[in-house]
Amino acid sequence: MNLCSNNPAVERAQPWLGTLVSIRVEGLPSAEAHRAIAGAFAEIAAIHRLMSFHDPASDVSRLNREAALHAIAVHPWTYSVLAEAQQFSRASDGCFDVSVAAELVSWGMLPTPQGAHEPLRGTWRDIELFSGNRVAFRRPLWIDLGGIAKGFAADRAVERLRECGARYAVVNAGGDMRVEGENPERIRLATPSQSDLAPVLELANGSVAGSSGTVQQKRRGKPACGPHIDGSRRAPAPIDRFVCVVAERCVVADALTKVAMARGTESTDLLRRFSASAYLKDPGKQWLRIGAMETAAA
Amino acid sequence: MNSRLIFLPLAGIAIAGGPAYATVYLSVEQAQAVLFPGATVQPQPRTLTEEQVKAIEHASGVHVLTKQLKVWRVSAGGWFIVDEVVGKHEYIPFALALDDKGAVKGVEILEYREAYGGQIRDPEWQKQFLGKDASAKLQLGKSIRNISGATLSCKHITDGVERLLVTYELVLKQSGR
C-alpha cells in the first residue's frame, strides 16, 4: 500500500533477538527511509545486547550471575522492561513470569547460564527494583526476557522511525509486530486452516503478538511442550491453541500473549485491564475474541 | 488502534505467505550502498580449496555449502560478502559487511522465501502451493507481507555469519592486504 507513489516502500531485515526482524517504511524518500530504518535497527541491536540470555556480557546475564549477591545497576531500558514485566506478573498472579528461565533451561530450550548459581524455586516476587536502575534478587534466580523484549524492541523501533519522520511503518520482530499509521496492515495468522479460508488480521495504529503452541523441541522422555510456560503453574501452556493479542503497545501484546495462551478465556479481565484484546482459536472450536472491545480507530 | 479478523481465500494468501512468494529486501548493490555508504567495491571472487573447506568446517562447526566465495574488497577498507544459508526449506541469501579488522559491521537479509513456522508440515497448507504461479498473486488485492504466530529462529543465519568469520580468518585476512 503505497501512500505516495513517488516514494516506494523500503523494507529491510536483520537477525536480532534470536529471530528475523523486518522493518518497512512507506512514504519517505528512499535515503530518508534508509536512515530511519538504520536508526531503528541500531536501537534493536542495543536491546539485543542488553537483554540476551546467551551473551555473558548482557544485563540479563549479569543479573543471573550476580543479582542474588548484591544489587546490580542496569541500563534504563533493561530496568524499564523489568518494571513492566513485574506489572504483568502482579496482574496475572505470576502466570507471566520472567523467572521461568530455570524451567526453559531444564527443558533444553535455553542453555545453562555460565557462572550463575542454580536457581532455588524463586519467582518474580524475588525480583527487587531499586532507584538508580538497580536490581537485586532475593534468592538465586534465572530470568529470561525473551517473552517481552521483542515487543519492547518493536515499540522503540517505531518511536525512532516516527522521530525520523515516518508516517507509515511496520516493525515485525519474529511475529511481534507494531503498525504505525492509519492504513490497516494485513497480517496472516499462522494457524493451520481446516477450511479454504485463512484468518487474516487487519491492524492499524497498534500491535499484535501471536503464539501458536507449536511443539518446538522434542524432549527425550518428557511430554511434548510448546514454547510457552504458565509461570504460576510452572507447566507448559496448551500446545494446540492459537492466540494473538492486540494492544496499542507491542510490549503489552507480547507479554499478555503468554497469559492468554496459558489461561484462554480466563484472561479476559486481565486483557481488559490493559486495554488489550485477544483472538483465540482452540482446535475444533470457533474463533473467539476476548478482552477489550475497541472503538473505531482513535 | 483498530483491528479486525477477516477470512480470505487460501489461494491468494498462499502466494503471499508461502514458499512461492519471496520478500525481496535489498539487491546486492543496494546492500553494498547501505552497509558501506559512499564507498566503491571491487569484486574479488574466490574458490575455496578442499583443504580450506575442511578447515572452515572444522573451526566453525558449520557445513560449507559452496566453494564459491562471493566477496568484494571495499575501497575504504573492509569486506563485503554475499552468501546464503539453508533455512527450514529454502535458501536465504544475506550480505555480511566486515570492517578492515574483520569485525562484523552489519548483516542484511537480501531475500526471504521461507515458509513460516510449523504450517509447512500441515498437508493442507502445503496443498495450497501446488500448481500456483505468480499470476495468482492478482487474486489478492494487496500482498500480505507479515505473519504472526510462528516465531522464526535466526540460528541458521548466525551460523552462516560464524562460518564467514572463520572464512575471513583463514582465507581473506592474509590475502587481502
Return the domain boundaries, chain A.
Answer: 59-137, 184-293
Closest CA to A252 of A101, A85, A93: A85
Q: Looking at this protein, which amino acid is placed at residue B131?
A: G
Q: Do B150 and A172 touch (CB under 8 A)?
A: no
Which tops the pLDDT comparison, B84 or A294? Answer: B84
Average pLDDT over residues B35-42: 94
Sign of CA dihedral A262, A263, A264, A267: negative
* ipTM score assigned to the predicted complex: 0.84
- Taking CA–CA distances from A212, the nearest residue in chain B reads B149
Q: How many residue contacts between A and B have a Cβ separation below 8 Å?
A: 175
Distance (Å) from the alpha carbon of B91 to chain A's nearest alpha carbon: 15
Are the CB atoms for A48 and A152 separated by under 8 Å? Answer: no
Q: What is the pLDDT of residue A115?
A: 86
Contact assignment for B117 to A1 by CB distance below 8 Å: no
Contacts of B158 in chain A (CB under 8 A): 15
pLDDT of residue A298: 34
Q: Which residues contact A63 (CB under 8 A, 6 or more apart)?
A: A72, A74, A135, A137, A143
The 10 Å Cβ neighbour count of residue A167 is 16
This prediction has a pTM of 0.87
Q: List, as ranges, residues 7-36 from A with C-beta within 8 Å of B.
A: 11-16, 18-20, 22, 24, 34
Angstrom distance (rounded) from CA B39 to CA B35 = 9
What does the pLDDT average to over A57-75? 97
Res. A238 pLDDT band, cuts 50 70 90: confident
Closest CA to A144 of A195, A78, A203, A194: A78
Closest by Cα among A117, A88, A123 to A231: A123
What digits encode the pLDDT tens for the residues B47-93? Answer: 999 999 999 999 999 999 899 999 999 998 999 999 999 876 678 89
Quick one: cell of A176? Answer: 511481534
Q: Is A293 a residue whose pLDDT tops 70?
A: yes
Cβ contacts of B146 on chain A, cutoff 8 Å: 22, 170, 172, 177, 185, 187-188
d(CA A197, CA B77): 53
* Cα dihedral A297, B5, B11, B13 in deg (nearest 10): 60
Task: Return the CATH number of A59-137, one of 3.40.50.300, 1.10.3980.10, 3.90.1170.50, 3.90.1150.10.
Answer: 1.10.3980.10
Tens digits of per-residue pLDDT, A123-167? 999 999 999 999 999 999 999 999 999 999 999 999 999 999 999
Q: pLDDT at position A61, please?
A: 96
Residue B153 — pLDDT band, cuts 50, 70, 90?
confident
Q: What is the pLDDT of residue A116?
A: 85
Write out pLDDT tens, residues B87-145. 766 788 999 999 999 999 999 999 887 554 434 434 444 444 444 333 333 233 345 66
Does an H or E element contain A39, and which? helix A30-51
Per-residue 3-state assignment (H helix, E strand, C coil) for B41-76 = EEECCEECCHHHHHHHHHHHCCCCCCCEEEEEEECC
Q: Do A11 and B157 touch (CB under 8 A)?
A: no
Q: What H or E segment, with its residue span, contains residue B80?
A: strand B79-86
Instruction: Inspect the interface and report whether the beta carbons of B108 and A14 lie closer than 8 Å.
Output: yes
- Whether B16 has a pLDDT exceeding 80, the answer reads no
CB contact under 8 A, A197 and B9: yes
Enumerate the residues of chain B whose CB falls inside 8 A of the CB of residue A213: none
Band the pLDDT of A216: cuts 50, 70, 90.
very low
Chain B residues touching A247 at Cβ < 8 A: 1
Is the model more confident about A43 or about A284? A43
* Spatial distance between the Cα atoms of A50 and A78, rounded to a whole number of angstroms: 7
Contact yes or no for A258/A264 (Cβ under 8 A): no
Taking contacts as CB-CB distances below 8 angstroms, the residues of chain A near B25 are 11-13, 22
pLDDT at residue number B76: 86
pLDDT, residue A236, reads: 74
- For residue A281, the cross-strand partners are A242
Where does residue B101 rank: exposed (0-12), middle (13-18), buried (19+ CB within 10 A)? Answer: exposed
Q: How far is CA A80 from CA A6, A77, A144, A232, in A?
A: 39, 5, 15, 22
User: Which residue's entry shows cell 507491542?
Assistant: A250
Of B15, B12, B17, B14, whose CA–CA distance to B140 is shortest?
A: B12
Whether A192 has its CB under 8 Å from any CB of chain B: the answer is: yes
Average of per-residue pLDDT across A175-195: 85
**Beta-ladder partners of A136:** A128
Rounded percentage of chain A residues whose pLDDT exceeds 90: 68
Nearest residue of B to residue A179 by CA position? Answer: B1
Cα–chain center distance at A201: 18
Which of A15, A211, A296 has its CB closest to that of B2? A296
Are B119 and A23 in contact by the 8 Å Cβ rule? The answer is no
Residue A213: band (very low, low, confident or very high) from pLDDT cuts 50, 70, 90:
low
**Cell 500446545 sits at which residue?**
A239
Cβ partners under 8 Å of residue A115, min gap 6: A56, A65
Please report, to the nearest 10 degrees, the dihedral formed by the alpha carbons of residues A232, A54, B153, A95 taken in order.
10
| CB within 8 Å: B148 and A24 | no
Q: DSSP letters along A232-298, please? A: TTTEEPPSS-EEEEEESSHHHHHHHHHHHHHHGGGGHHHHHHTT-EEEEE-TTS--EEEEPPP-S--
Q: B89, B70 in Cβ contact below 8 A?
A: no
Q: Are A171 and A17 in contact (CB under 8 A)?
A: no
What is the model's pLDDT at position A262?
92
